[in-house]
Structure 1
Amino acid sequence: MAIHRSTLRNKKNTLSLDQLHLKKESRKQINQLIEEFTFLEALKKYDIPVANKILLYGHTGCGKTATAHAIGQALEKEVVTLNLGGFVSSKLGETGKNVTDVFRKASFGDTVLFIDEFDFIGKVRDYDNQDSGEMKRLVNTLIQQIDQLPEDTLLICATNHVEVIDTALLRRFQIKLKYELPSQEKLDVYYDDILERFPDNLTNIKRVYDISYAEAKDVALQQVKTKIINQEKLKLISEVN
């Protein structure tokens, strides 16, 4: 099976859980998950299952992907990322087999399998009728693979559109964490974190609210870059004069 780097990949240089701006309840559930995996063997002795299937859903740019990689880092597991949208859109007839192969490889490795754009399974209902049977088989394949996932393999799925996902798939996840746009107070903390490494003359920026963390980062860094470039231009002018 040929898998492109953009479809199945490993991500390095991730943020830690402490560096993420998570809701208290979400962080509490993630901490519980990490403890369960840390003491997995002790729980197995009593035949107690661990929560190894997580769904991260909500607004784009609010930290779902960063959370998946931070969990992998905390567990010291390799994170393998599958972008379901790009994966399915190639040859529909081969997708079920390819998904099975990905799950099999993840099951035999000490990995976290992270499936991004999980809502694509719901969006494919918009395909024409000739593909509807194939898509039903794909959903069934996913359900089967999720049900057969070994206890020591962690599956994390992310979606911006949880409402379009098949309810039979949603029921498989023991943990569901919702990501919402941060409040002004939380964004101020985030802006402060971004700007703390810069000198004071670069930190006086216009702060924008009602946006995601990813958008706030772009807003802050763009203004800092502009200030740096303007300072360098002034230096060049003064040198010429």
Structure 2
Amino acid sequence: MNLYNLIIQDKEEVSLNDVFLEPQNKQHFVQLIKEQTYSKELQEYGLPVNNKILLQGSSGCGKTMTAKAVANALGRNIIILNLSNIVSSRIGETSQNIKMIFDKAARERSVLFLDELDQIGKARGSDDKDVGEMRRLVNTLLQLIDYYPENALLLCATNHAEIIDTALLRRFQLKINYGMPSADFLDVFYDKILAEFPEDLKNIERKYGISFAEAKDHAFTVVKGNLIKKLEAGTVKE
């Protein structure tokens, strides 16, 4: 399997201000970026630099977008690896592929973003043989995280932290929770994404109790439907 086929290529430039984060979470990332920026100075005082971060919680609430924003703020490339795409029936091959990607990220001082970390946890336990093989894979990942250099940044994401091996969880210096946004927070989000449209297209029925990604899809679908109706009726001004 070609190493580069496993990496998700994404050149989207995102700033931290583009990500809808709870104030406490945003402050965590602001400090994380500053720690990376002043890592040498902090280390001179014997202070460790946080470089292994777990983003955990609801899907569609900005974990991947956050990782892109952090990489952009640091002026580094981001390597995105979805673990659901890399786990193969040959566990040895999977371990080798993960090691190559860790080595690449460390060598280039890239931001390494491992998505769906729980895939390793989920894969364990189907039968006795599989338990042994997956445990060896987890051990490989533990070693890679332990020896990941301080001048590189590792971000991992999961929707199901409760099923991840506890030994893995302990490796992360910072765990940041992503919950479903409140109605007020979603209103701010709706206002922002609808602001670019004419007034007669902004007035949509808003859904709540959903993620930012779902809210965006809902809003754009309704706006497109309303615009198409106007186009068909010939009421859209050029």
User: Residue 117 of structure 2: SS of its match in structure 1?
Assistant: coil
Aligned match of 1:15: 14
Cα distance in structure 2, aligned partners of 1:130 and 1:93? 14
- Measured after TM superposition, the shift of residue 235 of structure 1 is 1.6
RMSD after superposition: 1.4
User: Residue 124 of structure 2: SS of its match in structure 1?
Assistant: helix
Q: Where does 1:1-241 land on structure 2 (aligned, <5 Å)?
A: 2-3=2-3, 5=5, 7-89=6-88, 91-235=90-234
TM (norm. structure 2) is 0.95
Contact in 1 for aligned 2:124/2:135 (Cα 8 Å): no
Partner deviation per Cα, 1:138-183 (whole Å, 9 max, x = no partner): 1111000000000011000000000000111001101111011100
TM (norm. structure 1) is 0.94
Q: Sequence identity of aligned pairs in percent?
A: 49
User: Residue 48 of structure 2: SS of its match in structure 1?
Assistant: coil
Cα distance in structure 2, aligned partners of 1:89 and 1:224? 42
User: Residue 229 of structure 1: SS of its match in structure 2?
Assistant: helix
User: Residue 80 of structure 1: SS of its match in structure 2?
Assistant: strand
How many pairs were matched up? 235
- Measured after TM superposition, the shift of residue 15 of structure 1 is 2.5
Q: Which amino acid aligns with 1:177?
A: I
Q: Which amino acid aligns with 1:188?
A: D
Partner deviation per Cα, 1:86-108 (whole Å, 9 max, x = no partner): 10135323111111111111110
Contact in 1 for aligned 2:3/2:101 (Cα 8 Å): no
**Which 5+ residue runs of structure 2 have no aligned equivalent?**
none
Cα distance in structure 1, aligned partners of 2:168 and 2:223? 44
**Which 5+ residue runs of structure 1 have no aligned equivalent?**
237-241
- Measured after TM superposition, the shift of residue 127 of structure 1 is 2.9
Contact in 2 for aligned 1:59/1:160 (Cα 8 Å): yes
Q: Which runs of 4+ in 1 moved over 4 A?
A: none
